[in-house]
Structure formats: structure tokens, C-alpha cells
Structure 1
């Protein structure tokens, strides 16, 4: 056996080198994949304080670097149609509110890594969407019941340095209950919108808001 090994030492060394190279390439791929995941934007849209209409909508930046939020869009699906409106700015803000604290008039702006933004209650942002759309009539006390909402989506349109361009995150919520005042996420995770087709749609939304 030793004689056979000595006779084929050169070939065995070649295949051993190939095996070693394959192992290194495998680990390099794992490291690169992990690095890419760490550099990707990770934006979460969550529901806090129960599943009722007065629960709050939270936007969290779990990326390694800050993001810049350009726009927030709510899309309401009723029994008959679908309506999308920007909820980036506050309807109740006054011009003087922006003098010292821009966050008092708009939700647009940077969000640091590990921080979250409270958009307010779902009641308030649904009411804001309804008031901005001519085909929806909001009831200040019970907007969901009067609008006959089946579900709605919250979309975050943002920029993230390492990825470049526009990226987005979206989450869908199902409405239920006797008075349509209960809601829950349709999925356990936030949908990441980073592919070319999704980015083109986000860009169109931004251009429509100009």
C-alpha cells in the first residue's frame, strides 16, 4: 500500500489540494453570504399593544446602519376597491411646529440603527388615509366599521447606504371582529421590497407624491 501511495503521490497531492480549495471556497461563500445579510437593510413593521384598533404601529430599523425614510404609504382594501395614500406628514400639524422640531410635522427623516418610530394608533392612520381620499368617508369614532375594510398594508419607502437607491418594507394586516375593530398581521414577518420590480413600484409612488 505504501508503495502505491509513493507511486501516486503526485496525483494524490493534486486531488488533496483540490479538496482543500473546495473547503476554502465553501467557507468563503458562507462568510460572503453572512456579510451580505448583515449589510442588507432590515426594516420591521410591527403591531404593539394588542390587536385592537387602538394598538400602535411601530417601524423599527434593525439594519447595521441608519436608514432615511422618504415616505410611508397606507393601502386600504375595502369590499369594492383599493386605495393608497401617503401618511408621511401629519394632518394636524401647524407651520410653527416645524421651526424647531421637524418630527412634529412629518414622519420623514433618518432612523438610526436599533431605533423605532411610533406611527400612532391604527385608528389614527386609517382615519388620516380616509380623510385624504375622496372616495372614502371616515367616521372619527369608528372609521373601520364605516369603511368596511377587509385588509390594509403599511409600506415604508427608504434609502439605505450600503444598498443604494430606494428600498422598501411592507406588511399586511387582516381586519376582523364584529365591528371590524380587530386586526392582526397576515404573516409573521415583514416583506422586504428590494428586487428591481419592487423598487420600480416604490419609485413610482415617490414620484406621484412630488
Structure 2
């Protein structure tokens, strides 16, 4: 055995060196994947507080660094038509300090409006890691989209789904992450049935961080900016 090893020592040394190289490549790949996973942006869109039309939507930043939110879209798909509206900024009089617990609006004078914080009126801005922001209730967001459609279209009833059919609601968040070039995004779809019940279409939020996905997010951002 010893004589055979001495005779084939060069070949054995090459095999051992090659096996060692494979082990190092394997561990380097694990470290690289762990690093990329830690640096990869992740936005979570959740539905909370029941499945009724009063359910609320939450956007959470589960990344290692802050994400600057640029645009938030609400898209409604009834099968025949698909309409998207920007819900990044609050409508006039819709700031959190201008509404009581029942959602009723109260008038605000100029001095009070100036004193209110900017994040009461817009979702745009940096979202720190581990933090979240609330979009609002489903019925309020749908009512807002209906009003926006009514202001811009004469065919409101065809574009906005009626009560006799289910519709698909998709929330799209477009933002900027420090380690990524261009914009990134996340989306999650919900089914809003004719009984006013809301449920997620998929179990998790779709992350749009790949090359082609970022290009699509950039196109949407340019279209609705």
C-alpha cells in the first residue's frame, strides 16, 4: 500500500488539491449567498385586522438598510379592465391628524396644516429597517380610487368593478435601495370578492429585484411619477 502511494504520489497530490479547491469553492459560495441574502432588499406587504373591507394594509421594510419609498400604486383588475392609481400622497384633508377614529374629516386652518408632519400626508420617504407604515383600510383605498377614476374617466362603471363580481387588488411599492442600481419594487395581490371579503392571492410578497423586474418597476415609476 505504501509502495503504491509512493508510486502514485503525484496523482494523489493532485486529487487532494482538487478536492480541497472544491471545498473552498463550496464554502465561498455559501458565504457569497449569505452576503447577498443579507444585502438584498425585502419589502413585505401584509393584510391585517380581519378579512372584511375594513382590513388594513401594512408595508414593512425587512431589509438590512433603509428603503426610500418613491411610489405606491393600487391596481384593480376585474378581468376585463385593469386600472392603476397612485396612492403615495394623501388626498386633501386626509392627513392622519385631520381624521378622528371614525374616519370623519374636520377642517384645518392654515397654521395647523403647516404644523402637521410631512409623513401624515405622504408615504414617500425613507423607511428604516424593521419599520412599517400603514396604507389604510381597503374600503377607504377603493373609494379613493373610485373618486380618482371618476375625475379622469367618463366610463367609471366599466373600469371600476361592481358588486356582482370578484376583483383582484394589487399593491405595488416602488423604492430605492442603497445597494441596488435604479429602483426596486415589491407587490402583492389580494382577492376582493362580491361578499366584501378580502384574502391574499399568494402567501408571500413578490420581490422585484432582478434586472428585468427592476426595468419594469422603472417603467411604472416613470409612468406614474
Alignment of 1:124-163 (within 5 A): 124-133=140-149, 134=153, 135-136=155-156, 146=163, 148-163=165-180
Other structure's SS at 1:180 match: coil
* Aligned: 1:123 with 2:143: no
Q: Would you say the 8 A contact 2:39–2:63 is kept in 1?
A: yes
Seen in structure 2, the aligned counterparts of structure 1 residues 164 and 16 have a Cα distance that, compared at 3 Å, is same
Across the aligned residues of Structure 1 and Structure 2, the Cα RMSD in angstroms comes to 2.1
4+ residue segments displaced more than 3 Å: 92-100, 143-149
Q: Would you say the 8 A contact 1:69–1:108 is kept in 2?
A: yes
Shift of 1:180: 3.3
Distance (whole Å) between structure 1 residues aligned to residue 130 and residue 156 of structure 2: 36
What count of residue pairs does the alignment treat as equivalent? 203
Distance (whole Å) between structure 2 residues aligned to residue 180 and residue 14 of structure 1: 70
Other structure's SS at 1:32 match: helix
For structure 1, the residue ranges without an aligned partner over 5 or more in a row are 138-142
Shift of 1:40: 0.5
Distance (whole Å) between structure 2 residues aligned to residue 172 and residue 82 of structure 1: 13
Q: Would you say the 8 A contact 2:78–2:161 is kept in 1?
A: no
After TM superposition, the score normalised by the length of structure 2 is 0.83
Seen in structure 2, the aligned counterparts of structure 1 residues 111 and 147 have a Cα distance that, compared at 3 Å, is farther
Alignment of 1:6-85 (within 5 A): 6-85=6-85
For structure 2, the residue ranges without an aligned partner over 5 or more in a row are 94-107
